[in-house]
Structure 1
Amino acid sequence: MPEKNEYKDWEKYDETIEKFIQVIAKNMNLYGLTSSVGRLYGVLYFSNKPMTLDDMRDALEMSKTSMSTGVRTLSEMKMVESTFKRGIRKDLYQSEEDWYKSFTSLFGNRWRHHTETNIEEAEEAMAELQQIARETEDEQLKAKIHADIERLEYAKNYYEWLMKFIQVIESGEIFNYIPKH
């Protein structure tokens, strides 16, 4: 009788962990990742030991190529790291367990790229509008361009502020204001 109960307990445990892994997978789109990469991270996070690509493939029933791509994506985002264990020739991977560190890296990488692009685009648009304003004799167009350049300047100021915010996140200074639990 106890064996049957123990089996049910393990089954219930597995269901509970799988349910949370699904939550992780669902939320990965916030970071621009697919749910399969989220599931991979969840499996690694709840693994008691580092895993090989074969271990991951067996756990998720996905191709080794998909596992490799997912691990590479997670490694680039500093959410997974490779590790070494004596006697094992295959690459081993484990999750980064410091979610705060993962978030700051991921947030910084994603937002920095987009924000830098937005600053460049605003500067280019302002330069083009200024050129048009210099060349046109249409006073109404000049007035519209002047107003739009002010809007673009406002946007650029916002993006520059956002770059400072990103720096506060990346440097870890954010934890002075909002401490980790």
Structure 2
Amino acid sequence: MHDKEIIEKARERVIEAISQNMNLYGVTPSVGRLWGLLYFQNQPMSLDGMKHELEMSKTSMSTSVRSLMDINMVDKVWVKGSRKDYYEVQEDWYQTFIDFMTIKWRNGVIINVSAIEKSLHELNDLLENENLSQELEMEVKSDITKLHQSLEYYDWMNRLVDKFESHEIFDFVPKKR
């Protein structure tokens, strides 16, 4: 096996692992493969270059790049003398993790808190119903208690996300230098 083949095989192994790992977090394997490809590039790539390397359609490449940009894993960069759009990865793995996870976590918190608040409003309105049986009143009060407990969790989750975004997390779990 030639040196270049060894390098390609080593890169492919890591790209495949990254792709599988990202799939665990709701990112399609093809998007994960694209990020892995960009990670090993020593220069920004155009959509045409990505298309050629991964043998995917330009539309699929564009959608994948947009997905990576939405989670702050890829940046659009300017290349002197070219009109094409070029892209490169954020090479700080810590920041990539922070951006990716906090975007996912915040979205989850927003969706769940919104549902909980709407349900709390409806349940509190139901408690005002004078015709509510004692059994149903106890059930509603139990649900309200559970929902308030869940709001405490989501408050904690927001504070955790804040610690990641402010990098205070590194005070508790330092980066190795």
2:171 alignment partner in structure 1:
176
1:113 alignment partner in structure 2:
107
- Asked whether the 8 Å contact 1:51–1:94 carries over to 2, the reply is yes
| 1:77-128 residue CA offsets vs partner (Å, 9 max, x unmatched) | 1111122222222111111101111111111111111102211211221221
State the TM-score, normalized to the length of structure 1.
Answer: 0.91
1:152 alignment partner in structure 2:
147
> How far 1:142 moved relative to its partner?
0.7
Among 98, 110, 125, which residue is 1:104 paired with? 98
Q: Distance in 1 between matches of 2:31 and 2:7?
A: 22
- Asked whether the 8 Å contact 1:119–1:160 carries over to 2, the reply is no
**Structure 2 residue matching 1:82: 3-state secondary structure:** strand
2:133 alignment partner in structure 1:
138
The count of aligned residue pairs is 175
**Structure 2 residue matching 1:90: 3-state secondary structure:** coil
- Asked whether the 8 Å contact 1:57–1:67 carries over to 2, the reply is yes
Q: Distance in 1 between matches of 2:134 and 2:121?
A: 18
Closer, same or farther in 2 for the Cα pair 1:137/1:86, shift >3 Å?
Answer: closer
| 1:41-90 residue CA offsets vs partner (Å, 9 max, x unmatched) | 00000012111111111110111111111111111211111222222221
**Structure 2 residue matching 1:180: 3-state secondary structure:** coil
Structure 1 regions of 5+ residues with no counterpart?
A: 1-6
> How far 1:9 moved relative to its partner?
2.2
Equivalent AA in structure 2 for residue 152 of structure 1: L
Root-mean-square deviation (CA), in Å? 1.3
Equivalent AA in structure 1 for residue 91 of structure 2: E
1:48 alignment partner in structure 2:
42
1:32 alignment partner in structure 2:
26
2:2 alignment partner in structure 1:
8
Structure 2 regions of 5+ residues with no counterpart?
A: none
| 1:24-56 residue CA offsets vs partner (Å, 9 max, x unmatched) | 111112332101000000000001211111111
**Structure 2 residue matching 1:125: 3-state secondary structure:** helix
1:4 alignment partner in structure 2:
none
Equivalent AA in structure 2 for residue 123 of structure 1: E
How many percent identity over aligned positions? 41
1:161 aligns with 2:174: no
**Structure 2 residue matching 1:97: 3-state secondary structure:** coil
1:3 alignment partner in structure 2:
none
Structure with greater helix percent: 1
**Structure 1 residue matching 2:45: 3-state secondary structure:** coil
Q: Distance in 2 between matches of 1:137 and 1:14?
A: 69
User: Structure 1 runs of 4+ off > 6 angstroms?
Assistant: none
**Structure 2 residue matching 1:78: 3-state secondary structure:** coil
